[in-house]
Amino acid sequence: MKRIFILITALLTLSALSCSNKIEPGTEKPARPVIKGIELQSVKLSPVTDFYETTGTVRARNTSYVASKIMGEVEKIYVKEGDTVKAGDLLLRIKSPDIEAKVTQARQALEEARRALKMAEERKTLMEKTFRRYENLHREKAITDQEFDEIKTKRDIAVLEFERANNAVKRAAAALREAQAFSGYSVIVSPINGVVAKKLIDAGSMATPGTPLFIIEEPRYRVEAAVDESLEGIVKKGMAIPVEIKNIGLSTEGRVSEIVQQVDPVTRTFIVKIDISANKALKGGLFARVRIPLGEKKRLLVPEDALIKKGEVRAVYVVDDKGVVKMRLVRTGKQIDDSVEILSGLSDGETIVVKGLENVIDGGVIEGRKGGTS
């Protein structure tokens, strides 16, 4: 309503100016004022690419959430947010006195099991020699069957005890490896090459299994943007997409790497993932603007500097074939670089003033043109 009122006011003003120039009958019409120091341009329909504009969020292509496998107090942190790390770099150490005690116990148990195995092996060797000797004596009828059976039983028991001792060593060794593995869990390292995006714990805090301690991002990023479902089928994998991230002053071109086919039932949009080139200033969470090309369309464009702006009213100075300059109201559309789209008020081929607007007198004639009288 306000816009309509302003337009009406402007029209009435123009009308009043026109009426004030009326000459009484019988009076000689004055010559039109001469206009100098201006530049003209013919307005033409130009092919312009239409874009669908939306917003998105910068995300790392690969993100790793680093968590502890054991509970314990954080003894020391070796990195801070923004640090670059390589796979295997030390991030954090957890105090683990209980685990170290278990390693010591497991090592002692293995040593005891090995000693027991050595004794069992010596007894088995002795009983096997004794059994062979008694076997010869039994063959020569020098001992009774009962004496031979007793030695055979002792030999079998020695073999069984050796096997049990050997299995005990294997179990003790496995227990030691497990305890040592748990001890290794007290040292947290980076699983990938990347940047420490988030540090989620401080020294002295308690780490718990499964709770993230760090977020590590690979320094390769993409923009994830929500796109209206009407563009499904228009957006293609590999399509070049202009991307702007104002916060870091970056304008670049990305390429569609993935299209999530599922449409959100609430927003009626689907997610498009656009890979962008590496840049040191990039990080996850940045706000981005995305422009998806929809094809070319001819539009009437004028330089933005050619517009006369009075509040919400927009006008241009139009030059007729006699060189007379008149102000004309126009309706504008999108701004495209340094030009503005004209939706109505101008036609293809008309001439307008593009420079020296301050030298224009509405109704005046361009220097060197006849223009007639006002």
More confident: 97 or 355? 355
> Over the stretch 54-83, which tens digit does the pLDDT of each residue have?
999 999 999 999 999 888 899 999 999 989
Cα dihedral: 147, 151, 157, 159 (round 10): -160
Q: 0.85 cut: is pTM over it?
A: no
Sign of the dihedral defined by the CA atoms of residues 91, 96, 99, 104, in that order? positive
What gap in Å lies between CA 149 and CA 140, rounded to an integer?
Answer: 15
Q: Name which of 323, 4, 306, 324 is nearest 315 in CA terms.
A: 306
E-only strand ranges, 141-286? 187-189, 194-199, 206-207, 212-217, 221-228, 240-245, 250-259, 269-276
Instruction: Identify the pLDDT of residue 371.
Output: 55
In this prediction, residues 363-373 reach a mean pLDDT of 74
pLDDT at 180: 76
**What distance in Å separates the CA atoms of residue 254 and residue 266, rounded to the nearest whole number?**
27
Instruction: Report residue 263's pLDDT band, with 50, 70 and 90 as the boundaries.
Output: very high
What separation in angstroms does the CA of 274 have from each of 63, 214, 235, 270? 16, 25, 11, 13
CB-based contact 116:87 (threshold 8 Å): no
Taking residue 120's Cβ as centre, other Cβ atoms within 10 Å add up to: 21
Q: Tell me the average pLDDT across 158-178.
A: 93
Spell out where 72-186 has E strands: 72-77, 84-85, 90-94
Q: What is the pLDDT of residues 358-367, one digit of tens each?
A: 999 999 999 8
User: 268 by DSSP, 3-state: which?
Assistant: coil
| Residue in this structure with the two tokens 């001992």, named with its chain if needed | 143
Rg (CA), the chain: 44
Would you tell me the crossing angle of helices 145-184 and 97-139 to the nearest 10 degrees?
A: 160
Q: Tell me, what DSSP letter sits at residue 205?
A: S
Whole-number percent of the chain with pLDDT over 70: 90
pLDDT at 159: 94
Mean pLDDT of 285-293: 95
pLDDT single digits (tens) 25-43: 544 556 788 889 999 999 9
